[in-house]
């Protein structure tokens, strides 16, 4: 089992800097998810851990030992690829056994390991089939099985569920979480899907344009995003951002005057905030109250109503470029064209300065 440490890790392809100095401490047996928009460098960072790409500068340590120049095969890792990377001409059994034949495991040992992994993944009945005779979910299991038989210190997953349909994705997500508990190995998992990140991770690394925006537990990211990027990335629907300026600052609250003229009182101890300073108020759709009746109140005109059955998304036009989204219960009676008051509970406020850095919400319990 292994802890992974990165020190100022950089990677460039020719003149293009893809990873611009990453420092991370991944603990032994942790499940860490790299998440970020496409092109943020999350897959490249994973490939640096795997050793499939060389590090341009910085240090990569496994259990305190530098592995910069150690080839992938000697790092004690196993990787599950997005396209599964199964060998199309080999049976499932051979696919799983192929990597072992060299690893000084006797024939009996190979057979035992393959059957054990197949048992864990419930694919014993598929061992004689070829990959093309399997469904997407079954192929994914074989790819994971191929990783398990190698008994690695670190599992690397590169967007493993992105080729599966929605229902199967949820099922495999639960199985991967179970697998992590069973195997007690360090796992690094790349995805662009924040739901996968939130549900699987012990800690999430939010990457953007080659650097780490924040590294923390899922709820830490949700309740205490360090900046606008993380606040906007974690949570669905996305957090509403309202422009405004500081009207007054008291000991443990800030009054914000929004661009629309309304005022909101946020219980944030923002000693550094100054009157007149431009700020962004963040409000999560699920915290807003349809019909008003909270510490502060905003209004808007209903543009669109989306009924999802269990919940309803209401899009309000407030004369700003972006509509404000509000998430409420499934039987909302809101109609397009209505003018709707929206309640803002004091505890729901997130506040960011003009550079996008968050004011500390520590006072509010996570």
**Piece of the chain touching other proteins by CB under 8 A; list 81-89, 212-220, 274-282, 295-303:** 81-89
Site string for other proteins, 98-127 (x = CB under 8 A): xx--xx------------------------
Return the residues of window 334-353 that contact other proteins according to CB under 8 A.
none
Min dist. Cβ of residue 89 to other proteins (A):
5
Min dist. Cβ of residue 51 to other proteins (A):
8
Figure out which of the listed residues 64, 88, 108, 310 binds other proteins, where binding follows CB under 8 A. 88
Figure out which of the listed residues 12, 57, 83, 362 binds other proteins, where binding follows CB under 8 A. 83
When asked if residue 13 is in the footprint of other proteins (CB under 8 A), the reply is no
When asked if residue 71 is in the footprint of other proteins (CB under 8 A), the reply is yes
Min dist. Cβ of residue 138 to other proteins (A):
17
Min dist. Cβ of residue 193 to other proteins (A):
20
**Piece of the chain touching other proteins by CB under 8 A; list 20-28, 79-87, 199-207, 322-330:** 79-87
Question: Helix (H, G, I), strand (E, B), or coil: what is residue 249?
Answer: strand
Nearest to 137 by CA among 157, 163, 159, 115: 163
Min dist. Cβ of residue 342 to other proteins (A):
48
When asked if residue 72 is in the footprint of other proteins (CB under 8 A), the reply is yes
When asked if residue 89 is in the footprint of other proteins (CB under 8 A), the reply is yes
Nearer to other proteins, 147 or 324 (CB): 147
Min dist. Cβ of residue 88 to other proteins (A):
7
When asked if residue 82 is in the footprint of other proteins (CB under 8 A), the reply is yes
Figure out which of the listed residues 6, 35, 60, 78 binds other proteins, where binding follows CB under 8 A. 78
The kind and range of the H/E element at 315 are strand 311-317
Nearest to 49 by CA among 157, 200, 148: 157
Nearer to other proteins, 74 or 355 (CB): 74
Name the region of 39 (left: φ>0; alpha: ψ -120 to 50; beta: rest).
left
- Annotate 171-202 with DSSP letters as a single string: HHHHHHHHHHHHH--EEEEEES-HHHHHHH-S
Contacts of 69 (CB under 8 A, 6+ apart): none
**CB distance 8 to 55 below 8 Å:** no
**CB distance 342 to 289 below 8 Å:** yes
When asked if residue 87 is in the footprint of other proteins (CB under 8 A), the reply is yes
Q: How many residues bind other proteins (CB under 8 A)?
A: 25
When asked if residue 11 is in the footprint of other proteins (CB under 8 A), the reply is no
Nearest to 143 by CA among 187, 199, 83, 202: 83
CA–CA dist 112, 128 (Å, integer) = 16
Return the residues of window 247-286 that contact other proteins according to CB under 8 A.
none
Backbone phi, psi, residue 199, to 5°: -80, -30
Min dist. Cβ of residue 292 to other proteins (A):
54
Site string for other proteins, 171-200 (x = CB under 8 A): ------------------------------
**CB distance 95 to 134 below 8 Å:** no
Backbone phi, psi, residue 237, to 5°: -60, 165
Helices (H), 240-292: none
When asked if residue 85 is in the footprint of other proteins (CB under 8 A), the reply is yes
When asked if residue 150 is in the footprint of other proteins (CB under 8 A), the reply is yes
How many of the other CB atoms lie within 10 Å of CB of 238? 16
CA–CA dist 111, 156 (Å, integer) = 24
Nearest to 208 by CA among 191, 189, 186, 230: 230
Structural tokens at position 44 = 């490249």
Figure out which of the listed residues 52, 120, 170, 247 binds other proteins, where binding follows CB under 8 A. 52
Min dist. Cβ of residue 81 to other proteins (A):
5
| Binding region for other proteins (CB under 8 A) | 50-52, 71-74, 77-79, 81-89, 98-99, 102-103, 146, 150
């Amino acid at each position: 089992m292994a802890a992974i440490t990165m020190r100022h890790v950089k990677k460039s392809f020719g003149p293009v800097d893809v990873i611009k100095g990453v420092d991370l401490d991944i603990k032994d047996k942790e499940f860490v998810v790299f998440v970020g928009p496409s092109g943020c460098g999350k897959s490249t960072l994973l490939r640096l851990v795997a050793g499939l790409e060389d590090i341009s500068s910085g240090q990569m340590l496994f259990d305190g030992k530098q592995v910069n120049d150690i080839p992938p095969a000697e790092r004690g890792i196993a990787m599950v690829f997005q396209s599964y990377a199964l060998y199309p001409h080999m049976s499932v059994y051979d696919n799983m056994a192929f990597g072992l034949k060299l690893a000084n495991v006797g024939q009996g040992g190979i057979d035992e390991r393959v059957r054990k992994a197949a048992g864990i993944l419930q694919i014993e009945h598929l061992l004689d089939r070829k990959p093309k005779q399997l469904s997407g979910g079954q192929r994914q299991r074989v790819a994971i099985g191929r990783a398990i038989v190698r008994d690695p210190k670190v599992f690397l997953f590169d967007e493993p569920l992105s080729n599966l349909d929605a229902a199967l994705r949820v099922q495999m997500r639960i199985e991967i979480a179970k697998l992590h508990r069973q195997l007690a190995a360090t796992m690094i998992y790349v995805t662009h899907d924040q739901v996968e990140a939130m549900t699987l991770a012990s800690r999430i690394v939010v990457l953007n344009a080659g650097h780490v925006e924040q590294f923390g537990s899922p709820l830490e990211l949700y309740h205490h995003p360090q900046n606008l990027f993380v606040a906007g990335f974690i949570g669905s629907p996305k957090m509403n951002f309202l422009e405004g300026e500081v009207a007054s600052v008291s000991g443990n609250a800030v009054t914000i005057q929004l661009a629309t003229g309304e005022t909101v009182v946020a219980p944030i101890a923002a000693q550094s905030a100054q009157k007149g300073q431009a700020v962004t108020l963040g409000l999560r759709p699920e915290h807003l109250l349809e019909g008003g009746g909270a510490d502060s109140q905003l209004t808007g005109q209903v543009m669109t109503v989306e009924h999802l059955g269990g919940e309803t998304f209401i899009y309000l036009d407030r004369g700003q470029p972006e509509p404000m989204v509000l998430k409420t219960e499934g039987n909302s009676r809101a109609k397009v064209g209505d003018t709707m008051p929206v309640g803002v509970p004091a505890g729901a406020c997130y506040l960011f300065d003009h550079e996008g850095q968050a004011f500390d919400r520590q006072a509010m319990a996570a």
